[in-house]
Every structure is written in structure tokens, then in C-alpha cells.
Amino acid sequence: KQIAKTVLTAGSVHAAEFAAALLLDYPEDLGCDSETCALLCEVLGLLPKGTAVGVVRKLIASGQLSALPYHRDLNLLLAKLGFEYSKSSLGPLLRASVPWVEEEEDTLRDAVVFLPGGFTRQLPDFMDLSEEVAKALASNGPVVALESTIITHGMPYPQNLQSALEVERVVREAGSVPATIAIMKGRVKVGLTESEINEIAEMGPSKCSKVSIRDIGLLMANDGYGSTTVAATMRIAAMAGIRIFATGGIGGVHRGVESTWDVSADLTELGSTPVAVVCAGAKSVLDLPKTLEFLETEGVPVLGWGTDVFPAFFTRDSGLRTSGRVDDADHAAK
């Protein structure tokens, strides 16, 4: 280990390669302390990504990593290299805990999120998770994303506030953590507090913009307030590591599309973002046959929960069929 430290003072790729070879060839001298973790960080940080990945794989195969204690910097470095969280392969090194930085209003930033599928990902610096959401994600707990456009643009105040809080209550009663998503003062918020929900509910459409995918960047740059559509909520949920999203009705292909080309960004987002959307179908004012055709083109399975009929938001039967059917949660999860 001391030789490796001395070699690394050169600060070159060749020095890092030599140090890595020493650590791999003499595992019994590697040790299992924070000093070793710091040394590995230095070695991996100097190596090209492909070489660093190869070194980590060898360390995993030899069992060396599983013996190491938790180390924040090494944790982040491994996440950037694309390694998965796995208790069996990495032991306590990437254990299910979030090295968060607590700030005002109990928000968490600069955290490593452990996705339900097992992948680690560092949060972007423009995103804030509520403590409740971050802890649920860190422990692979169930989290349900919720949109906010329906709060600011769907109903008047205070009915919109009452509805939003009722939806969160229903999610909690089912054993999950609700994560209402919005943009506030240019920050992407995942998991609004009750006071934050009340704030945007009072603002309404005049002070809180409706935000789709194209609008997110500019609104953040302007330090503005925005309520997220289905498409924007999906994109943000995926970035945060949330895989389930519940809403009312999705957007779709508008009537007269032959002349307007008015197709909701919700449909393209459904075809490209790995988030399952539980909803009451598409809004009834849309061209529903064309909406289903578009979803088929995008490769989106449209599954009915206990039904073969595609609903139309506030009506159960649109006269159209879904592409498939699931009858219980286990079936849907598979």
C-alpha cells in the first residue's frame, strides 16, 4: 500500500495502472479501512473509465470490495462508473443508505439514489428530494410520483388543495410514499411538503406555469414556479429513481391532427421513459383511436386493470380495447 501511495505522487495514468496492479496482486496487504478506500479513489480517479471499470470488476470478483467499510467518495465514484447496488457483490460498500446533505425544509441534495432496479445514480444538482421520499428510495421502498398540473390548472382553490392532499393520503394508506413533483424557485422538487402544495395551489395558473418537457430548462433558468404535466412528471420521476406514477388522464392525439399536428408530449415520453403510468386512460376530448395507434407505434403496452376496455378519463368505456389485461398487482409487476 505504501509503494502504491509513493507511485501515485506522479499523478499519471501509468502510475495509477502500476498502483492498481499492486493492489490487485497483493490483496492480503490491501487492508479494510478508510485509508484503503481513499487510496482506491485516487487510483480509480486517475485511470481511464474503461480501465477503472476493469479494476473494480476484479476487486469485486476477488471479494476485496465486500470487506471494505462504507466510504462516501468511493461510493460516488463507483456510481459514476455505472456499477449496480448489490449486497451480494459489493457488501456494505454501496449499502442502502443515502449520504445526504440536509438543508432547509428537510430537503436532501447531492444524494446517491438507489433505484428499485438496483442501480445507483447521483442526483442532479438542480433536484431536491423530500426526506420521506429519499429514505424510501434508499431502502427500495414503494414511491408513487404525482403530477402537479392538476393542482394549479385543474381545479380552483381550495378544492385543488383538498384533492391533492386526499390523493397523497390514499397513497400512504396503501403503504406507499407519495412524491408530488413541481418546480419551485427554479428547483425541481420531488416530494412536496403540505405547505408547498398549499403554496402552488393558491398560486393557480396565473402565477404557476404549466410545464412540459420543453419548458423545464427555461423555467429553472428563470427561477420560476411550474406545475408538471404527465410528460414532465415522468421525466423527473425517472431521474429521481421513481418507477410508478399515478395520474388522472393522459394527453394524446388531438382531433383534427391532420391539419394541426397537435400530439401531446405525454405519448412520446411514454415511449421512451421507464416509468409505469397508472391512469384513467386518455382525456375523452381527444382522438382516442389515433392516440392508441400512436402508443402502439411508440411500443407502449396499454394494459387494463381487470378490464379489456380502454377508459376515457371520466368514463369507463371508450368503445376501444386495451392491448392487454392484468388482474392483480403481482401480474402487473411481472
Q: Return the CATH number at 267.
A: 3.40.1790.10
d(CA 20, CA 23): 5
- Are both 46 and 119 inside the same structural domain? no
172, part of any domain: yes
Number of domains in the chain: 2
- Are both 137 and 58 inside the same structural domain? no
Show which of 81, 97, 121 is a domain's final residue.
81
Enter the pTM of the model: 0.68
d(CA 115, CA 132): 15
d(CA 182, CA 246): 15
292-311, pLDDT tens digit by residue?
999 999 999 999 999 999 99
93, part of any domain: no
What was the pLDDT predicted at 233? 98
- Are both 229 and 309 inside the same structural domain? yes
- Are both 133 and 281 inside the same structural domain? yes
86, part of any domain: no
- Are both 193 and 254 inside the same structural domain? yes
Catalytic residue (one of 168, 189, 269, 283):
283
Helix (H, G, I), strand (E, B) or coil at 153: helix
- Are both 67 and 139 inside the same structural domain? no
Confidence band for 253, pLDDT divided at 50, 70 and 90: very high
- Are both 128 and 168 inside the same structural domain? yes
87, part of any domain: no
To the nearest 10 degrees (0 to 180), the angle between helices 34-46 and 13-25 is: 140
d(CA 313, CA 285): 9
Show which of 81, 96, 121 is a domain's final residue.
81
- Are both 150 and 222 inside the same structural domain? yes
- Are both 119 and 251 inside the same structural domain? yes
- Are both 24 and 137 inside the same structural domain? no
Q: What is the residue range of 62's domain? A: 1-81
Does the annotation count 334 as an active-site position?
no
Question: Is the model's pLDDT at 199 over the cut of 60?
Answer: yes
In 3D space, the residue among 99, 173, 98 whose CA is nearest the CA of residue 142 turns out to be 173
Question: Is the model's pLDDT at 102 over the cut of 60?
Answer: no
- Are both 255 and 324 inside the same structural domain? yes
Does the annotation count 147 as an active-site position?
yes
Catalytic residue (one of 147, 168, 189, 269):
147
103, part of any domain: no
- Are both 116 and 218 inside the same structural domain? yes
Q: The cell 445507483 sits on which residue?
A: 120
Show which of 81, 99, 124 is a domain's final residue.
81
177-191, pLDDT tens digit by residue?
999 999 999 999 999
DSSP assignment string, 168-204:
HHHHHHTT-EEEEEEEETTEEEES--HHHHHHHHHHH
129, part of any domain: yes
